[in-house]
Structure 1
Amino acid sequence: MTTETGPARYLDVFAEPRFRALFAARTVWMAAGTLQILTVSVVVYRDTRSPLLGALAFGAGFLPQAAGGILLGAAADRVSPRRLILAGYLLEATVAAALALLHPPVAASLALIAAVGCLAPLGNGATGRLVADTLTGDAYVLGRAAISMSSSGAQLVGLAAGGAAVAALGPTPALLVACAGHLLAALLFVLFAGDAPTPPRTGPVLRESWTGTRALLADRTARRLLLVQWLPPAFSTGSESLLIPYASAHGWPAGTAGLLLAAIPLGMLVGDLLVGRLLGPAGRERAAPLLIALLGAPLTLLAAHPAAPIAVALLAAAGFGLSYLLGLQRPFLDALPPQARGHGFTLLSTGMMTLQGLGPLLMGLAAEQLGPGPVIALAGAAILVVALSLRLNHLRPVRK
């Protein structure tokens, strides 16, 4: 458990060589993964002309994470983080090469992506555990913020450059570039990142994973912190999935949808940087309910049909609100038993990815009946309910 309470700086975080290596490897991995997903979606849509299958290819790696996280979560504490993370990078490189060189049928391509998705939570859990073992106190919070910012930035670059790469090179070279990116991430990690101590095995992984998941969800404090980190991003992602039909319903030019989609991750980048830099540890935790409200309130205003520039500004403000996650990092870490940190981070990643996969599906079905604007506004209202719940819990702390 962390005990330090003083503020840290990003310079302190990047002064740690192991964190620098992990940060660089994960950034390259995220950019390569974004390019790979985009390319596969393009190929599937080109071969089938089915918007549904194209969207399924884009999200095929999300929902299977639920199975991997629940059934294998204990492995994040029983297997060396170095081995888990390196294995994940090499597995994704292998899949990218297979998709590029073997040109499997659509069903086989989706099966490969789903299989990798099952194991993704283990890599995320091992990464969280390695960061927690490398950085302490407020440096840990800023380290998690830096990784979050690198993920958002890498996704933005991957999406922007990915479309150009697929258009200029074609799908096969683009997938080979993605494969090279995964291999580069593996090389950076294996050469410069360290490891964390791993306790001895205590029993079958499946049984321990199921027992550990039930124990974490039965703990009132851990469960509340998990839900607060799962639900607002799920509603936010569901709202993002409706921005293209939202722009179309307003008759805005085609490029406007791209600006709307870029606004939330851009706002999140700015929010993580400023909140992490300007607020101290206690200030971030106190600000968390207000930042969640900032995430939800602008989404509710989109139902009023604002002009395009105002809609972009509202979405950027909502993205800024996602920096609320910084205020929950240390409370969540402190709620985890030291011997189950990897499992806790795996469960956190599992829930976030699964719900972010379900959110667009459920909100898309609702938008078929109500229209995109009202559904986005309802998502914003749901986020405000989460903010109110967290505020009430702050006033009446949960005692373990």
Structure 2
Amino acid sequence: MLRQRPFTVAYLAEAQSIAGDQLARIALSVLVFDRTNSAGATALTYALTFLPAILGGVLAARVGDRHSRRAVMVGCDVARAALFALMAIGGLPLWVLGTLLVVAVFLGPVFAASEVSYLAAVLDPERFRVGTGLRLMTSQVAQVGGFAVGGVIISFLNPRGGLLVDAATYAVSAVAIGLLLPAPPRATPTTPLAEHAAERPVPWSNRSLLWSRLRVRRLIALCWLAGFFVIPEGLAVPFAAEIHATTTQAGLLLAAVPLGGAIGAIALVRTAGGATRETIAARMAIAAGLPLLVTAFEPPWGVALLAWAVSGALAAYQVEVNSLIVNRLPAARRSQLLGIIGAGLVGAQGIGVVASGVLADWWGAGMAVAVGGLAGSVVAAAVRWGPALRRPPRGVAVPAIIRDGDDSPYERGSQPEDQAIAGSSAN
């Protein structure tokens, strides 16, 4: 993959930006806590590094379908570099700091949707799949590394210095993408062909593109199951306190899930066969929550560490799910649709962490992690075999000109689709 110039440029630019983002999260948390001495204000600031991404994915990701995706990526990075540099100015009121942060995070899904759409356009499906696995693995490692060394860097640079480092990573990314990334073919919005207009009982909409197709509905549902499997990261510190683990051990627990994910991504990309990928991904999703059941019994720290790492490795099924989703979306609408899916993913993760925190106050962190893992596995099984996703929404017909990832035409109407999918072992 690293011999593919478009992928290499985007990959390296993204990796160093992710590490900078983890550094910025620590810097902002330290900066706000030093000024307010309030845990609530610190938690709110940390939440602001995620939540605006929901609105960005829904409202602005379509920009990548209307303009050059390379130009959109450069523009997002330039804007974020400027915003984080402004945050480093001393004496800014907290409301100004929060506003700058919200705008910066809002731009994240716009960049991500354009980047994925660009890579899907310039890489063949198999290389895109391998690249997705490598990007996920690197993202996990960069998060762990950013958190691991972030505290040390902040102690030397101070929080404002950390924010400037993050601004510099975005500037580097903008320069690399602007100068080194080849210009892709520009995607132009499409409209339904006239001869198919009478066959569609609903408008050409995001609803029909995302929910008309059984395979796409299932893949999106599997993607959003990350809301269950992110719970260990949200409760790592309170769970470590319950089992009397040290601060260092709590940090290693926090790193276990992303490290397991990196290992799982490598194994999945290297071993999964073409026709079985979707089945393997679904089975991994069903199994991903089961190792977390041991936390209900407050096991020794080493046992919990291993269980969380195994769960993270199984949760790497997202590699297959993400690549399958991207290859089943129409290129001209891909950025917008990926933005909507990404917004749902961020929302699912936020809801999962908040709900598990409430449950932990009642039953303890270990039980909350176990319940979340069990719920994730049960829902994954329902997505894989249950009847809930068997029928498309009432009145929605599949647009006739959109094709599936294997280049077979979408069937018109719901009945042919269900018959075709029911007979496919890949589902």
TM-score, normalised to structure 1, is: 0.89
Residues 1:194 and 1:59: Cα distance change in structure 2 (over 3 Å) = farther
Q: Give the deviation of 1:82 after TM superposition.
A: 0.8
Query: 1:254 and 2:247 equivalent?
Result: yes
Deviation string, structure 1 residues 192-247 (Cα, Å, up to 9, x no partner): 112333344689xxxxxx9743334432433332121012x111223311110011
Counterpart residue number, 1:197: 185
CA contact (8 A) 2:189 2:333 kept: no
Q: Give the deviation of 1:41 after TM superposition.
A: 1.1
Counterpart residue number, 1:115: 103
CA contact (8 A) 1:234 1:355 kept: yes
CA contact (8 A) 1:367 1:375 kept: yes
Residues 1:199 and 1:137: Cα distance change in structure 2 (over 3 Å) = closer
Residues 1:57 and 1:299: Cα distance change in structure 2 (over 3 Å) = same
Q: Give the deviation of 1:133 after TM superposition.
A: 0.9
Q: Which has the higher helix share?
A: 1
Aligned partner letter, 1:184 = V
CA contact (8 A) 2:54 2:342 kept: no
1:153-232 aligned within 5 A: 153-200=141-188, 212-221=205-214, 222-231=216-225
Counterpart residue number, 1:95: 83
Residues 1:22 and 1:393: Cα distance change in structure 2 (over 3 Å) = farther
Aligned partner letter, 2:61 = G
CA contact (8 A) 2:65 2:188 kept: no
The match for 1:131 among 119, 130, 137 is 119
Query: 1:292 and 2:285 equivalent?
Result: yes
Q: Give the deviation of 1:327 after TM superposition.
A: 2.5
Counterpart residue number, 1:25: 13
Q: Give the deviation of 1:366 after TM superposition.
A: 2.0
1:195 is paired with a residue of what secondary structure?
A: coil
1:73 is paired with a residue of what secondary structure?
A: coil
Counterpart residue number, 1:51: 39
CA contact (8 A) 2:56 2:109 kept: yes
CA contact (8 A) 1:85 1:123 kept: yes
Structure 1 spans left out of the alignment, 5+ residues: 1-12, 204-209
Structure 2 CA distance, aligned partners of 1:64 and 1:244? 25
1:14 is paired with a residue of what secondary structure?
A: coil
Query: 1:352 and 2:340 equivalent?
Result: no
Deviation string, structure 1 residues 79-124 (Cα, Å, up to 9, x no partner): 2111111122112211211111244222221221112222221111
CA contact (8 A) 2:223 2:322 kept: no
Aligned partner letter, 1:234 = G
TM-score, normalised to structure 2, is: 0.84
Aligned partner letter, 2:132 = R
Aligned partner letter, 1:150 = T
Structure 2 CA distance, aligned partners of 1:56 and 1:100? 19
Aligned partner letter, 2:217 = R
Residues 1:196 and 1:16: Cα distance change in structure 2 (over 3 Å) = same
1:298-313 aligned within 5 A: 298-313=291-306
Q: Give the deviation of 1:390 after TM superposition.
A: 3.6
Counterpart residue number, 2:24: 36
Residues 1:326 and 1:173: Cα distance change in structure 2 (over 3 Å) = closer
Q: Give the deviation of 1:157 after TM superposition.
A: 1.4
Aligned partner letter, 2:362 = Q
CA contact (8 A) 1:19 1:131 kept: yes
Higher Cα Rg: structure 1 or 2?
2
Structure 2 CA distance, aligned partners of 1:320 and 1:353? 20
Aligned partner letter, 1:326 = V
Structure 2 spans left out of the alignment, 5+ residues: 192-202, 391-416, 422-427
CA contact (8 A) 1:61 1:118 kept: no
Structure 1 CA distance, aligned partners of 2:360 and 2:183? 46
Q: Identify which range, 281-290 or 313-322, moves more after superposition.
A: 281-290
Counterpart residue number, 1:62: 50
Counterpart residue number, 1:105: 93
2:185 is paired with a residue of what secondary structure?
A: coil
Counterpart residue number, 2:233: 240
Counterpart residue number, 1:7: none
CA contact (8 A) 1:281 1:327 kept: no
Residues 1:294 and 1:200: Cα distance change in structure 2 (over 3 Å) = closer
Counterpart residue number, 2:195: none
Structure 2 CA distance, aligned partners of 1:286 and 1:45? 46
Residues 1:329 and 1:68: Cα distance change in structure 2 (over 3 Å) = closer
Aligned partner letter, 1:374 = M
Q: Give the deviation of 1:314 after TM superposition.
A: 0.2
Query: 1:381 and 2:369 equivalent?
Result: no
Deviation string, structure 1 residues 19-41 (Cα, Å, up to 9, x no partner): 11010111111111111121111
Q: Identify which range, 295-304 or 278-287, moves more after superposition.
A: 278-287
Q: Give the deviation of 1:349 after TM superposition.
A: 1.7
> Aligned Cα RMSD in Å?
2.3
Structure 2 CA distance, aligned partners of 1:154 and 1:35? 10
CA contact (8 A) 1:142 1:276 kept: yes
Structure 2 CA distance, aligned partners of 1:94 and 1:108? 14
Structure 2 CA distance, aligned partners of 1:388 and 1:171? 45
Deviation string, structure 1 residues 296-322 (Cα, Å, up to 9, x no partner): 001122102111000000000001011
Percent identity, aligned pairs only, is 29
Counterpart residue number, 2:196: none
**Which structure exhibits the higher relative contact order, with contacts defined as CA atoms closer than 8 Å and separated by 6 or more residues?**
1
Structure 2 CA distance, aligned partners of 1:339 and 1:393? 32
Structure 2 CA distance, aligned partners of 1:354 and 1:92? 22
Counterpart residue number, 2:413: none
Structure 1 CA distance, aligned partners of 2:36 and 2:126? 50
2:88 is paired with a residue of what secondary structure?
A: helix
Q: Identify which range, 194-203 or 152-161, moves more after superposition.
A: 194-203
Counterpart residue number, 2:365: 372
* Equivalenced residues, count: 381
Aligned partner letter, 1:259 = L
